[in-house]
Structure 1
Amino acid sequence: MLARRPVRAQDRDRGQVAVEFVGMVPLILLLIAAVWQCVLIGYAFSLAGNAADEGARAGAVKGDPECHAAAGKYIGAAWNREVTCGVSGSVYKVTVKLNIPVLYPGLGFGSIEGTAGAAMEREE
């Protein structure tokens, strides 16, 4: 008969790290996707607010055509923006609506609105 070699504790754990790594990879990727989605939502809030501010400043001085141009200047076409400009009393108000992206700006997940206003000014 063949003599069996005694089993050491080190031999029982061989390959354990590889098994744990394979099991954790999907969880790590899911966590990365969730963090990326949160970054895109925050970026959409920032873009909508900035676009509304820019549009309100331009619209208060030069009117509606400049409002739409200024509001859309820094937002790419993939964000599917909707800009509403108008006067409310002595305040020029702008609302910018952006679709919330899902992992990529072209895929929709609801919408975010940014609003801003500026006091009416007219260039002479």
Structure 2
Amino acid sequence: MKWKALIQRENGSATLEFLGMVPLVFMLMLIIWQFVVGVHGVIVTQSAVNEAAKVYSITGEWDQARAAAEKTVQTGAKYLTFNSAQTSVTSSDIFTAKVSVNIELIFFPDKLFPNGAPSLAFSSEASGKVIE
């Protein structure tokens, strides 16, 4: 009879429920933050390829356009790594620019990955016409 009374009391149940939910809420916040970081990386990459296309369409010099794209990515955030920038000319004055970056997964501890945090590769393209 005494055990039944102890089991039916609900003293401390709110504390246990709170402690059970804290890790889940924390993980959800980390996942949402990583999603925001990824979206920001995509926006910066698209901005970089647009900048490269703009510079290339005005100057016709791919080295200047690549430097502009790399500068845009480097000023974007520390979790973005510039991989490459390429162009291909499809006709006499129409071109396609492509910029590739790595978006690091920011919540993994450095001790687990001595060669660098895992990352996601992303690339964006823009087309344009060289202004003469």
The equivalent of 2:62 in structure 1 is: 64
Aligned 8 A contact 1:80 1:99 in 2: yes
Residue 28 (structure 1) aligned to one of 25, 46, 63: 25
The equivalent of 1:93 in structure 2 is: 96
The equivalent of 1:45 in structure 2 is: 42
Query: For residues 38 and 79 of structure 2, what CA distance do their matches in structure 1 show?
Result: 14
Query: For residues 108 and 55 of structure 1, what CA distance do their matches in structure 2 show?
Result: 27
The equivalent of 1:114 in structure 2 is: 124
- Structure 1 segment 73-84 matched on structure 2, within 5 A: 73-76=71-74, 78-84=79-85
Tell me whether 108-117 or 53-62 shows the greater mean CA deviation: 108-117
Structure 2 unaligned residues grouped into runs of 5+: 108-115
Aligned 8 A contact 1:83 1:94 in 2: no
TM-score (norm 2): 0.73
Tell me whether 24-33 or 60-69 shows the greater mean CA deviation: 60-69
Aligned 8 A contact 2:81 2:103 in 1: no
In structure 1, the residue corresponding to 2:98 is in which secondary structure? strand
Structure of higher CA gyration radius:
1
Shift of 1:117: 1.7
TM-score (norm 1): 0.77
Query: For residues 24 and 78 of structure 1, what CA distance do their matches in structure 2 show?
Result: 30
The equivalent of 1:4 in structure 2 is: none
Shift of 1:78: 4.1
Query: For residues 80 and 18 of structure 1, what CA distance do their matches in structure 2 show?
Result: 44
Instruction: Return closer, same or farther for 1:83/1:49 CA change in 2, 3 Å cut-off.
Output: same
The equivalent of 1:3 in structure 2 is: none
- Identity of aligned pairs, percent? 22
* 1:103 and 2:103 are equivalent in the alignment: no
Aligned 8 A contact 1:99 1:108 in 2: no
Shift of 1:61: 1.6
Shift of 1:87: 4.2
User: Which amino acid is the alignment partner of residue 62 of structure 2?
Assistant: D
